[in-house]
Amino acid sequence: RLSFKQYLPSKPSTKWGIKIWSLCDSSKGFLLKFQVCTGKETGSIAEGLGSRVVKNLLTGFESTNRTVYMDNFYTSVDLFHDLKEMGLGACGTVRANRKHLPPQMKTMKKKKGDLPTVWAMKNREMISCTWQDTGKVNMLSTVGDTGVTDVRMNSKSGQRDVTKPNIQVMYNKNMGGVDLFDQFCATYSYGRKSMKWYQPLWHFLIEVALVNGCIAYNMQKDVKELSHKKFRDQV
């Protein structure tokens, strides 16, 4: 019996499997680094699993002035402070009950169409905000500014202008790297039944090679761009 098999409710194909933590390029979906979730992640237990995973994945990227985007499972004030010390920016959705956030974030109630509320957290050089989309959204960032932007969006009644925090606009633009990589893997996956626990990992490594190989090939100059399907066919 595999001790680190995980329940994966968000996966449509299978509900049980091996969980992979991934770090991907935000624009192309190129997988930069990954870590198998074994339940034995290194680091201080006090800082939480999400923080430990993020720091492990970003080892080797220190002082590169890059920005990492993440969802609320990982985001915390302490983690973002540590990433800033590592020479990295960070932006993500955040749970209102995380430590060191403005207390109003947890209690504030907003209606759809209300202007966002943005806080500049000077003591830790961060920006936090709360606003109402289809549901309440809380954000935390060490990059960007406290401004807002009117964005035209489609709705059932037609197009409408929605006022969004600038850090939310930035997050929406850059958050999709892991989803893009997963999409490439799922769309053209060759699929194999696995009798041994390690075989899914082997198949995953093949998928990484195929997806990253296609992206790297298309980034070359003076080559005809190939779709992921055509690249796989030629390989």
- pLDDT band (50, 70, 90) for residue 178: very high
Residue 180 CA: distances (Å) to CA of 14, 15, 16, 23, 70: 19, 20, 22, 12, 14
pLDDT tens-digit readout, 7-47:
555 655 565 568 899 999 999 999 999 998 876 655 555 57
| Amino acid letter for position 157 | S
Residue 69 CA: distances (Å) to CA of 58, 85, 197: 12, 16, 31
pLDDT greater at residue 116 or residue 156: 116
Alpha-carbon gap, residue 4 to 23, rounded angstroms: 20
Residue 174 CA: distances (Å) to CA of 5, 69, 132, 168: 30, 7, 20, 10
Residues of the chain with pLDDT > 90, as a percent, come to 54
Alpha-carbon gap, residue 231 to 235, rounded angstroms: 6
pTM value is 0.86
On average, the pLDDT of the chain sits at 86
Which residues, 6 or more positions from 160, have their beta carbon under 8 angstroms from its beta carbon? 152, 153
pLDDT recorded at residue 170: 96
What DSSP string describes 89-151?
A: EEEEE--TTSTTS-THHHH----TTPPPEEEEETTTTEEEEEEESSSEEEEEESSS-S-EEEE
